[in-house]
Amino acid sequence: MEAMSSEHATDAAAATPTIFERIIAREIPADIVLETERLIAIRDIAPQAPVHLLVIPKTAQHRTVAELAAADPALLAEVVATAQRLADEHADGDYRLVFNSGANAGQTVFHVHAHVLAGGLDEGSLAH
Ligand code: 5GP
């Protein structure tokens, strides 16, 4: 039998579900605050603001916000509108919207998601 080529090994790794796919599939629990046909919103497990929610498209097709914007701008618009709705419902309507894009920018889950940070943020706290 032939050894698996590195190309196939990469494909196999890409097919491994991320933590967000497993949350969307209800394989692991999360505090879900909103769900629509195309996205889910959950509380971040390690909050970095008084309100720290994640808005996650259900599709695993897009790794970054730029990929999402290019492939499905309507879904990106839904993510942004949902962020505003959540900030209205969970805080005073003001919020910071963060998309970490790439490991050197702090991205750890390569399934596009928006961080909605709200509830009283200090000016100058953009980057830690
Ligand atoms: P990233 O670093 O990729 O921009 O954001 C990933 C976020 O997902 C982090 O803020 C991290 O705290 C959060 N996270 C990682 N694993 C889980 C989990 O199992 N449940 C929830 N609710 N959030 C998670």
**Residue 102 falls within a domain, yes or no?**
yes
Report the residue among 32, 108, 115, 128 best suited for mutation to probe ligand 1: largest number of ligand atoms under 8 A from its CB: 108
The predicted-structure confidence for 37-54, as pLDDT tens digits, reads as follows 999 999 999 999 999 999
**Residue 41 falls within a domain, yes or no?**
yes
Ligand 1: atom nearest CA of 48 is 10
Q: Retrieve residue 44's tokens.
A: 């971040």
- Is residue 76 predicted with pLDDT exceeding 70? yes
**Residue 127 falls within a domain, yes or no?**
no
Residue range(s) defining the domain that contains residue 51: 6-118
Q: What is the rounded CA–CA span in Å between residue 107 and residue 65?
A: 11
The whole-model pTM stands at 0.90
- The pLDDT-based confidence of 116 (bands split at 50, 70, 90) is very high
Residues with CB under 6 A from ligand 1: 19, 30, 42-46, 54, 100, 106-109
The three-state secondary structure class of 43 is: strand
- Is residue 3 predicted with pLDDT exceeding 80? no
CA of 118 to the centre of ligand 1 (A): 16
**Residue 39 falls within a domain, yes or no?**
yes
Residues designated as active site:
113
Q: What is the rounded CA–CA span in Å between residue 96 and residue 114?
A: 10
CATH of the domain at 39: 3.30.428.10
Map tokens 């046909």 to a residue: 37
- Is residue 7 predicted with pLDDT exceeding 70? no
**Residue 128 falls within a domain, yes or no?**
no
The domain tally of the chain equals: 1
- Is residue 75 predicted with pLDDT exceeding 70? yes
- Is residue 35 predicted with pLDDT exceeding 70? yes
